[in-house]
Amino acid sequence: MSDRNDLSKYAGLFEDIRAADIMTANVTVIPPEKKISHAKEMMNIKRISGLPVVDETRHLIGIVTVEDIIHALEFNRLGEPIRNMMTRDVITVGVNDRLTDIVSKFQAYRFGRFPVVDADNVLRGIISRKDILNGVLEKFNLIYVHDQKRISTLNSEFSFITGERLTVGDAEFHYNIDTTDIGSAGVGAVMLKTFLADKRYPAEIIRRIGVAVYEAETNVIIHSRGTGDIYCFLQGDLIMVRVVDNGIGIEDMDMAMKEGYSTAPDYVRELGFGAGMGIPNIKRFVDKLVILSEKNVGTQVEMILYLPIEASAPATPGTLTKN
């Protein structure tokens, strides 16, 4: 496991990744003449911690950060124009900067994100830790599949995949998949459903997890030729499930993602599986899906479902038992 997550050994692969390849081009910006209170509002709504300030020609002239807002609050200056409070010496990344340089910038400054500018200091995008992660995953065919809700914090997201914070020993639920018994496909999914129902998670969430885990569990049994496990982590506002095996891996991830693609042998069709709809189904039923796979090392399917706001509110008695 830890071997598989050691990204450094792949460093050479990433040399040609440039900021422009992985940045988010669609940036929320703000003009300097707007009030600080306006910036505060925008950051709140968009859930961002830094807002680039640009002039009419989109030249970057500053950035408003959470610290600036706190400062303004403290001195009662929310009504002043952003120009007066913004940070002027912005640390930026150039569109052509290499991944390694970008990573060292993140290490050196500990900011959550950097504006990306071209040679004329015109804002072209923004880059966060998460963008780096996605860029890296794409590069070595470990597919970052989709992300319907970009609401969780960057740090915890980063650790889901690197395994930094989520060690399997901390899983609240564990099921060892019996790959020798085809008839057991789905037993783990049903057990997980029961486990979550006991903890009073919302029925709809449980149903979606059930379907997704059933598909992933079945894949381990019919495709992996290895052994596998299901882990579930409960994290307050989200449920994370990891289905992992040490089998042959997914040869062609792009194809595996497509509806109708299957390498399943005939006997698998007798099980009613092998229609090539498994991974597309998983994608359909979860909020977020990350599939990592390496040939002859294994496959790891990580899925996240966000709880509806009411259910995750800590003040609501009886809706959720955490840990």
Ligand X SMILES: Nc1ncnc2c1ncn2[C@@H]1O[C@H](COP(=O)(O)OP(=O)(O)O)[C@@H](O)[C@H]1O
Interface with ligand X, residue 94, by CB under 6 A: no
Q: Does residue 274 interact with ligand X by CB under 6 A?
A: yes
- Does 81 bind ligand X (CB under 6 A)? Our answer is no
Binding mask 217-246 for Mg ion (x = CB under 5 A): --x---------------------------
Could you say whether residue 224 binds ligand X (CB under 6 A)?
yes
- Nearest CA to 248 out of 263, 231, 233, 268 is that of 263
Candidate ranges 140-148, 160-168, 199-207, 240-248; the one touching ligand X (CB under 6 A): 240-248
Smallest gap from Cβ 118 to other proteins, in A, equals 45
Q: Which two tokens stand for residue 288?
A: 């977020």
Query: Which positions from 148 through 187 interact with other proteins, judged by CB under 8 A?
Result: 183, 185-187
Verify binding: residue 83, other proteins, rule CB under 8 A: no
Alpha carbons 272 and 267: distance in angstroms, whole number: 9
Q: CA geometry: angle at 166 spanning 136 and 255, to 5°?
A: 40
Q: At what angle do helices 203-219 and 187-198 cross, to 10 degrees?
A: 160
13 vs 277, which CB is nearer to Mg ion? 277
Q: Tell me the one-letter amino acid at 196.
A: L
Phi-psi region of 264 (alpha: psi -120 to 50; beta: other; left: phi over 0): beta
The interface with Mg ion within residues 104-163 (CB under 5 A) comprises: none
Nearer to ligand X among residue 48 and residue 250 (C-beta): 250
Which residue among 277, 294, 311, 319 contacts other proteins (CB under 8 A)? Answer: 277
**From the list 92, 152, 235, 299, which residue makes contact with ligand X (rule: CB under 6 A)?**
299
Sites of contact with other proteins (CB under 8 A): 183, 185-187, 189-190, 193, 203, 207, 210-211, 214-215, 218, 270-273, 275, 277-278, 281, 284
Sites of contact with ligand X (CB under 6 A): 215, 219-220, 223-224, 245, 247-250, 256, 261-264, 273-279, 299
